[in-house]
């Protein structure tokens, strides 16, 4: 377990001019939204809907000096509250590109932060970035994940609980890559071993790569407990160091940690290790292409407080980089609505486990960061601003 070291949440900068402008823009944007916003003096804004309470004027100072990062920081600081933050955030996410009138969007360059150079996903940088998230504590993730310890979108069928839906998702990934008896499988991004175990039980032999020592250790233990250690090898290794030739290459929501600078290297690796006639199965979170282009160099609340170095692709970006690497997309399915449901269940579990999270050494501020993170992501998928796809790929 790594010691939790969050970036300190500074007191709201006093910037009356920016706070005044932020309040005017906020009022203008909220007036068109199906939300119910109560200001500190009791004034109501919005067209009605989920309730957001602005508790103190510091909210507008954070918004004026930090834009979307300030919006999240204000929640963590208690400057705004809501009985259901995901419901409040959903209409904001649905209108992400138009909340600020286009003529005024030029002002964002004065408040949007640039991505830190120190968080580039070089081999060493990627390990440091992953360490800050995945090595927090296996027990922490266990407070809200299902028993498979799957930290990616589930795929719900009628009446499925979360665990059943996670196994359905894993089977979908394995089916796209045609994993069966005798398959040689490379997994890029081990997680806590659920997919490797499932593939081994199909009769495959699996090599799985991770750069998280915490994940490696627990994955090895879980694989041994499942009785498939003779068919699964867990390596602490960067995807760029992958070696060998495989009938199937699978990677579930790992590409979000690669970074635009290294997308060509990632897809080139997929092509390099894929045996002739083999198949690739890739699960990836996506965002609209125009927003990806507009925000590609921008630091966000998520990359500041939760996923340093993280960056989402768009579907056209996946298509472009796959094609450039000599790969063709043979199948695709969207699971965006399923991710919204997955995140809702994770957030409910995390909130219910507040006492256990405290016992693990994580304070109230950490819990509010993660409550906002899970709500923020749920809103992205519920509004369809975000999506998640399973892609099947093959050599050209």
68-77: per-residue pLDDT in tens? 899 999 999 9
Asked if residue 234 and residue 91 are part of one domain, the reply reads no
In a domain, 3, yes or no: no
Q: What percent of the chain has pLDDT over 70?
A: 92
Query: Looking at the structure, do residues 198 and 315 belong to the same domain, yes or no?
Result: yes
Q: If pLDDT is split at 50, 70 and 90, which confidence band does 99 have? A: low
Of 59, 84, 110, which closes a domain? 110
CA angle 294, 386, 130 (to 5 degrees): 85
* Res 257: pLDDT: 97
Our count of domains for the chain comes to: 2
Per-residue model confidence (pLDDT) at position 54:
98
- Beta-bridged to residue 152, according to DSSP, are none
Residue 71 lies in a domain: yes
Are 379 and 341 in contact, with CB atoms under 8 Å apart?
no
pLDDT higher than threshold 80 for residue 110: no
Report if residue 353 sits inside a domain: yes
Query: Same domain for 141 and 104?
Result: no
Q: Where are the alpha helices (DSSP H) in the chain?
A: 16-30, 58-77, 85-94, 123-134, 138-142, 162-176, 194-201, 213-225, 263-273, 289-295, 301-305, 315-324, 336-352, 354-359, 364-382
pLDDT tens profile 264-309 = 999 999 999 999 999 999 999 999 999 999 999 999 999 999 999 9
Q: Is the CB of residue 62 less than 8 Å from the CB of residue 79?
A: yes
Q: 194, exposed or middle or buried, with CB in 10 Å at 0-12, 13-18, 19+?
A: buried
Instruction: Tally the C-alpha atoms within 13 A of residue 276's C-alpha that lie toward its C-beta.
Output: 0
Phi, psi of 84 (to 5 degrees): -145, 85
Confidence of residue 57 (pLDDT cuts 50, 70, 90): very high
* Cβ–Cβ < 8 Å for 206, 196: yes
* Stretch 89-116: mean pLDDT: 71
Q: Of 59, 83, 110, which residue constitutes the final position of a domain?
A: 110
At 203, the pLDDT band (50, 70, 90 cuts) reads very high
Same domain, yes or no, for 100 and 177?
no
Checking if the pLDDT of 1 tops 50, the result is: no
**pLDDT value, residue 16:** 84
Calculate mean pLDDT across residues 116-140.
Answer: 94
CATH value at residue 343: 3.40.50.150
Among 176-185, 203-212, 290-299, the minimum mean pLDDT is found in: 290-299
**Whether residue 383 sits in one domain with residue 320:** yes
Q: Is residue 376 in some structural domain?
A: yes
DSSP-derived secondary structure for 302-360: HHHHT-TT---B-HHHHHHHHHHTTEEEEEEEE-HHHHHHHHHHHHHHHHHTHHHHHHT
CA distance 62 to 261: 31
Q: Which of 110, 131, 152 is the last residue of a domain?
A: 110
Strand 246-252 with 387-395, pairing: unpaired
Average pLDDT over residues 246-263: 98
Q: Do residue 302 and residue 318 come from a single domain?
A: yes
Question: Which residues, listed in sequence order, are joined to residue 53 by a DSSP beta bridge?
Answer: 38, 81
Predicted pLDDT at 3:
47
pLDDT for 103 beyond 70: no
Within this chain, do residues 265 and 346 fall inside the same structural domain, yes or no?
yes
C-beta of residue 82 within 8 angstroms of C-beta of residue 30: no
Q: Which residues are catalytic?
A: 377
The band of 95, judged by pLDDT with boundaries at 50, 70 and 90, is confident
Taking alpha carbons only, the member of 158, 126, 385 closest to residue 262 is 126
**Do 225 and 364 belong together in one domain?**
yes
Does residue 170 sit in the same domain as residue 39?
A: no
Neighbours of 207 (CB within 10 A): 21
**129 assigned to some structural domain:** yes
- Give the domain range for residue 195: 117-395
**Does one domain contain both 237 and 163?**
yes
Name the 3-class secondary structure at 251: strand
In a domain, 323, yes or no: yes
| Torsion angles phi and psi, residue 377, rounded to 5 | -70, -45
Claim to verify: residue 105 and residue 152 sit in the same structural domain: no
Residue 341 in domain:
yes
Q: Indicate whether 90 and 128 sit together in one domain.
A: no
What pLDDT is recorded for position 118? 86
Task: HSE, CB side, 13 Å, CA atoms: give it for residue 335.
Answer: 29
pTM tops 0.75, yes or no: yes
pLDDT at 106 over 80: no
- The angle that helices 194-201 and 213-225 make with each other, rounded to 10 degrees, is 30
Answer whether residue 384 is part of any domain: yes
């Amino acid at each position: 377990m790594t010691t939790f070291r969050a970036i300190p949440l500074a007191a709201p900068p006093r910037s009356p001019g920016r706070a005044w402008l932020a309040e005017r823009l906020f009022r203008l944007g909220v007036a068109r939204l199906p939300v119910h916003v109560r200001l500190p003096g009791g004034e109501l804004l919005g067209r009605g809907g989920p309730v957001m309470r602005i508790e103190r004027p510091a909210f507008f100072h954070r918004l004026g000096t930090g834009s979307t990062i300030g919006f999240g920081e204000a929640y963590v600081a208690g400057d705004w509250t809501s009985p259901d933050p995901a419901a409040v955030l959903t209409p904001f996410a649905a209108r992400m590109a138009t909340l600020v009138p286009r003529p005024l969007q030029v002002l964002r360059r004065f408040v949007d932060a640039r991505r830190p150079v120190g968080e580039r996903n070089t081999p060493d940088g990627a390990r440091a970035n992953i360490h800050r998230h995945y090595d927090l504590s296996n027990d922490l993730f266990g407070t809200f994940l299902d028993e498979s310890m799957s930290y990616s979108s589930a795929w719900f069928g009628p009446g499925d609980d979360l665990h059943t839906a996670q196994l359905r998702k894993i089977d979908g990934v394995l089916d796209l890559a045609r994993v069966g008896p005798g398959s040689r499988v490379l997994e890029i991004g081990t997680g806590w071993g659920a997919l490797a175990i499932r593939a081994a039980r199909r009769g495959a032999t699996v090599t799985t790569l991770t750069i998280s020592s915490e994940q490696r250790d627990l994955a090895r233990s879980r694989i041994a407990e499942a009785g498939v250690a003779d068919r699964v090898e867990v390596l602490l290794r960067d995807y760029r160091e992958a070696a060998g030739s495989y009938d199937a290459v699978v990677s579930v929501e790992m590409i979000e940690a690669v970074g635009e600078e290294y997308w060509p290297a990632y897809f080139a690796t997929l092509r390099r290790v894929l045996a002739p006639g083999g198949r690739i199965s890739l699960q990836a979170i996506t965002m609209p292409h125009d927003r990806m282009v507009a925000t590609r160099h921008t630091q966000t609340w998520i990359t500041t407080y939760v996923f340093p170095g993280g960056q989402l692709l768009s579907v056209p970006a996946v298509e472009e980089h796959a094609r450039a690497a000599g790969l063709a997309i043979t199948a695709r399915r969207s699971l965006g609505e399923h991710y919204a449901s997955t995140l809702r269940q994770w957030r409910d579990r995390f909130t219910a486990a507040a006492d256990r999270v405290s016992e693990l050494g994580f304070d109230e501020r950490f819990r509010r960061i993660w409550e906002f993170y899970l709500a923020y992501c749920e809103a992205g998928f519920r509004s369809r601003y975000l999506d998640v796809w399973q892609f099947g790929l093959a050599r050209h």
